[in-house]
Structure 1
């Protein structure tokens, strides 16, 4: 098997696993799903072989990261539907805003996982602060 083995933070690995779990549930095409499952199995084996996988203290963060990644999947599906229809209305703008608000929650969860597990590697973001007082994240139906 041809593959790369690279150092990665705990948060990044758990994020990737949670995304693959979502793909395995939601992708309808059997060939694509088989590819997803193969990658998921490989990453789960790597994770389960590591002592950090036995840490009970991360179940809440892992579940929340899985939920957030599912939310991002739904947001991306909706925004692509609007793009395909050429509908660039207020709903499109709210979806676009929801992508980065939700990705910021995702980044925080990955950082929290890294902190709880004592990761030597930590992902950094360097976006401008877009949040304004009194302006909340988009509320999607």
Structure 2
């Protein structure tokens, strides 16, 4: 393998292009996966006390905050990289990310089985209008395919 001193300018440009392309692909893959998860899962998982529609909006808002936050973070990390060194800045940013991830994973919440059961009750449609019930428990014959706790809001 050639060292940096023996690479031609063309090889350096090609290697830079390949590295940048791989980085961009990984970054946009991560954004795509997070966006899909924010739209489908995070509302029920992280905001169970909110109505499903509001929980989804809040989870998508956290996704949207990432777009303006990235350039700000790049500016701050670039400044720190110039001041204290790139390696120290990398270690600092990885440490901050690790602590934030651990804080999300260790937050107190109900057991997984209860969360899954609540999500199933919320997402399961009522299959027969005669069996639909309002929040007070009274039968609602006019209801059409209502979902869980939002039956009174979503159905006529």
Calculate the TM-score normalised by the size of structure 1.
Answer: 0.32
* Structure ranking higher in helix proportion: 2
**TM-score, normalised on structure 2?**
0.30
| Larger RCO (CA within 8 A; separation ≥ 6) | 1
Determine which structure has more spread, i.e. the larger CA radius of gyration: 2
